[in-house]
């Protein structure tokens, strides 16, 4: 906006360079062009003495892929909760075990194991061959399911609900009787990346958006909450023990306890449901929760896009907090702030895990990281006073930076199950993922990033987008090339570190030399503060961006910095005396060494400076 017209400070405005429009659409062939569809009708009879249930279902799979399918696979998640399972061995051998799991699976007595045993399976009316293989059922079809064709699977199975270890199970530590998540044989996803048949080791999920008609029969007196819409009256279901839910475009999760208290809150046409057990220490927190949840949903509707389902349910159950479409199970014995925090995070998943539904095993940061990013903004909004003046994303920046400096960081594109440590997974998925979005503000500008996020949700809802789709929306929103940003930040562990190498304050020229000790290039914001209190702000784009973010008022645009050039020198005509010089004064970048970003002069015009 305010370019300098001296030879040293030529404006480097590229605008919407034609080169961008001519770039090949990388990975365009990977754009999801179809979605599989599955329609489940099931009846479940739960024996609450043995913690076992019998299930019968019909699943109609519509193969919308261009390929004929010779096999089919079902997830049998409950089989993970047996001694010797992959989840058990993994949680006992990883160097930093999750304390919620540890060796608990290995210690389970047999009547507390989880298992699913398929008794009968027919496809299109004929028996088929199938094998139980850990947490998967491998089905050999009698005839391929052609592209565009439907197949009807008819299945009967028995299952034992595991003692609560993670997410699913009976009788968790807060006394909730049934947390039923990833609890039934679920068809594996086949998409543009092929089959997704990951053995379950307790991490992420990827599946088909499906429609459900579920009837659950259990003893009278239980209250059942979950995904979908209850057909009929709740009181009648409590008395009869028969619960009938229907839902579209989801996975199906539920919980049951005779002592649940059910409250509701309305936000426009979305009903918010809350289920918890009375507990004098935590009742006040649960009474405050509905109001905050409604405010949070309104905020997220505005920030990302409209919540598309008819209801959302918050259930005391499971462990910590885990997101499902239209529902979350969270532990409930928490302070109000903690209960609101976990609810906001899990509900925020609705936009990323449920609706966009990126394959979170492959790109966990596009689920957890994006969710964490909007959660931080939402918590700032809900607790404006407490958060005043604080960067909502500060804790993610610091946890990412400390992991990067530890040398234990693994690239963001590591498969969620395959990180060497739980910590490397957690920091990458949650913290670095959040930073990736927040930091885009430094690259393309905050307003463009915010607009891009809305466009991304609108264009890719219910299509399973991946990183390329997100990157392209952001590129089109800002008109710049962002390949370099995603390549460096997603695919490598190279770090950002810009530094001030030298400052020479002559009589009428200020000369500043910057360097880039970190390998990852970034555009640089530079602020010079004079002793009279005035300031000059500069923006230095990267050549690779083919453009620059919108300038702030009175901000000067400098020449682009080529990534091949280790240093960059500015000569600025001024005779004012310098107070200090700062790189990235608003701390928008995850610069791993802040100490070399600022130089403060101890006296006017002094050539000596203190590195702070
Ligand atoms: Zn999460």
CB–CB of 279/242 below 8 Å? Answer: no
Q: How far is the CA of 25 from the centre of ligand 1 (A)?
A: 31
CA 498 vs. chain centroid, Å, equals 29
Pairwise CA distance, residues 368 & 204, whole Å: 10
Q: How far is the CA of 362 from the centre of ligand 1 (A)?
A: 15
Q: How far is the CA of 200 from the centre of ligand 1 (A)?
A: 17
Taking alpha carbons only, the member of 315, 334, 342 closest to residue 176 is 315
Taking alpha carbons only, the member of 104, 17, 108 closest to residue 481 is 17
Pairwise CA distance, residues 480 & 547, whole Å: 6
Residue 267 β-bridge partners: 270
Helices (H), 430-578: 433-444, 446-460, 467-478, 483-491
Q: How far is the CA of 353 from the centre of ligand 1 (A)?
A: 9
Neighbours of ion ligand 1 (CB under 5 A): 368
Q: How far is the CA of 371 from the centre of ligand 1 (A)?
A: 6
Q: How far is the CA of 434 from the centre of ligand 1 (A)?
A: 11
Q: How far is the CA of 205 from the centre of ligand 1 (A)?
A: 12
Q: How far is the CA of 35 from the centre of ligand 1 (A)?
A: 24
Question: Running along the chain, 612 residues long, what does each successive block of 10 average in pLDDT?
Answer: 30 31 36 85 98 98 96 98 97 94 95 98 98 98 97 98 95 96 97 94 92 98 95 97 95 96 97 97 97 98 97 92 93 96 98 96 97 98 89 97 98 97 98 98 98 98 96 98 98 98 95 98 98 97 96 96 97 96 97 97 54 35
Pairwise CA distance, residues 405 & 419, whole Å: 17
Q: How far is the CA of 345 from the centre of ligand 1 (A)?
A: 6
Q: How far is the CA of 344 from the centre of ligand 1 (A)?
A: 10
Q: How far is the CA of 369 from the centre of ligand 1 (A)?
A: 8
Helices (H), 304-367: 336-349
Q: How far is the CA of 284 from the centre of ligand 1 (A)?
A: 25
Q: How far is the CA of 375 from the centre of ligand 1 (A)?
A: 10
Q: How far is the CA of 259 from the centre of ligand 1 (A)?
A: 27
Q: What is the pLDDT of residue 387?
A: 83
Q: How far is the CA of 365 from the centre of ligand 1 (A)?
A: 10
Q: How far is the CA of 233 from the centre of ligand 1 (A)?
A: 32
pTM: 0.92
Helices (H), 234-389: 234-240, 283-303, 336-349, 368-382, 384-387
Domains (ranges, CATH) in the chain? 7-20+496-611 (2.60.40), 34-208 (2.60.40), 382-480 (no CATH)
The number of C-alpha atoms within 13 Å of 49 and in the hemisphere containing its C-beta is 0
Q: How far is the CA of 346 from the centre of ligand 1 (A)?
A: 6
Q: How far is the CA of 486 from the centre of ligand 1 (A)?
A: 22
Q: How far is the CA of 559 from the centre of ligand 1 (A)?
A: 41
CB–CB of 308/320 below 8 Å? Answer: no
Q: How far is the CA of 348 from the centre of ligand 1 (A)?
A: 8
558 contact partners, CB below 8 Å, separation of at least 6:
4, 9, 12, 538, 539, 540, 570
CB–CB of 562/543 below 8 Å? Answer: yes
Q: What is the pLDDT of residue 26?
A: 36
Q: How far is the CA of 59 from the centre of ligand 1 (A)?
A: 29
Q: How far is the CA of 107 from the centre of ligand 1 (A)?
A: 28
Q: How far is the CA of 12 from the centre of ligand 1 (A)?
A: 41
Report, in this order, helix, strand and coil percent for the chain, each rounded to 5. Answer: 30, 30, 40
């Amino acid at each position: 906006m305010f370019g300098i017209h001296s030879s040293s400070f030529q404006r480097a405005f590229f605008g919407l360079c034609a080169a961008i429009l001519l770039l090949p659409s990388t990975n365009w062939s990977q754009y999801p062009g179809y979605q599989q569809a599955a329609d489940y009708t099931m009846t479940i009879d739960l024996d609450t003495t043995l913690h076992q249930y019998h299930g019968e279902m019909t699943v109609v799979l519509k193969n919308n892929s261009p390929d004929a399918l010779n096999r089919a696979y079902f997830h049998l998640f409950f089989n993970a909760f047996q001694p010797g399972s992959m989840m058990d061995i993994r949680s006992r051998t990883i160097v930093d075990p999750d304390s919620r799991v540890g060796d608990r699976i290995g210690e389970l007595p047999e009547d507390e194991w989880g298992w699913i045993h398929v008794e009968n399976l027919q496809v299109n009316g004929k028996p088929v061959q199938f094998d139980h293989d850990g947490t998967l059922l491998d089905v050999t079809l009698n005839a391929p399911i052609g592209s565009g064709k439907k197949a009807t699977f008819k299945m009967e199975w028995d299952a034992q609900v595991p003692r609560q270890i993670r997410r699913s199970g009976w009788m968790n530590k807060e006394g909730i009787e049934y947390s039923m998540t990833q609890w039934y044989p679920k068809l594996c996803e086949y998409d543009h990346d092929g089959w997704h048949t990951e053995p379950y080791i307790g991490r992420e999920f990827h599946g088909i958006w499906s429609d459900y008609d579920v009837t659950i029969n259990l003893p009278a007196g239980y209250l059942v909450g979950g995904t979908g819409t209850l057909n009929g009256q709740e009181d009648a279901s409590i008395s009869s023990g028969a619960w009938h839910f229907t839902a579209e475009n989801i996975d199906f999760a539920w919980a049951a306890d005779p002592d649940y208290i059910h409250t509701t809150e309305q936000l426009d046409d979305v009903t918010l449901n809350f289920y918890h057990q009375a507990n004098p220490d935590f009742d006040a927190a649960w009474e405050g929760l509905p109001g905050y949840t409604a405010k949070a949903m309104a905020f997220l509707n505005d920030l990302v896009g409209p919540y598309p389902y008819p209801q959302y349910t918050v259930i005391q159950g499971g462990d910590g907090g885990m997101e499902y479409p239209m529902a979350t199970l969270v532990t409930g014995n928490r302070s109000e702030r903690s209960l609101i925090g976990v609810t906001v995070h899990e509900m925020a998943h609705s936009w990323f895990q449920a609706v966009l539904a990126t394959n979170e095993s492959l790109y966990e940061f596009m689920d957890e990281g994006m969710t964490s990013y909007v959660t931080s903004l939402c918590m700032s909004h809900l607790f404006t006073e407490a958060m005043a003046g604080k960067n909502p994303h500060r804790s993610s920046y610091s946890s990412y930076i400390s992991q990067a400096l530890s040398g234990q960081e693994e690239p963001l594109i590591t498969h969620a199950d395959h990180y060497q440590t739980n910590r490397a997974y957690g920091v990458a998925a949650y913290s670095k993922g959040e930073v990736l979005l927040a930091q885009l503000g430094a690259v393309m500008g905050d307003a463009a990033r915010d607009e891009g996020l809305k466009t991304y949700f609108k264009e890719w809802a219910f299509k399973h987008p991946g990183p390329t789709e997100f990157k392209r929306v952001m590129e089109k929103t800002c008109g710049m090339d962002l390949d370099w940003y995603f390549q460096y930040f997603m695919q490598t562990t190279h770090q950002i570190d810009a530094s001030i190498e030298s400052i020479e304050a002559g009589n009428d020229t200020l000369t500043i030399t910057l360097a880039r000790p970190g390998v990852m290039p970034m555009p640089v914001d530079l602020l010079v503060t004079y002793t009279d209190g005035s300031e000059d702000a500069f923006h230095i784009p990267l050549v690779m961006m083919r453009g620059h973010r919108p300038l702030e008022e009175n901000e000067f645009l400098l020449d682009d910095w080529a990534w091949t050039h280790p240093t960059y020198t500015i000569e600025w005509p001024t005779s004012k005396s310098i107070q200090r010089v700062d790189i990235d004064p608003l701390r928008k970048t995850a610069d791993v060494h802040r100490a070399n970003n600022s130089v403060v002069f101890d006296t006017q015009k002094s050539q000596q400076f203190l590195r702070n």
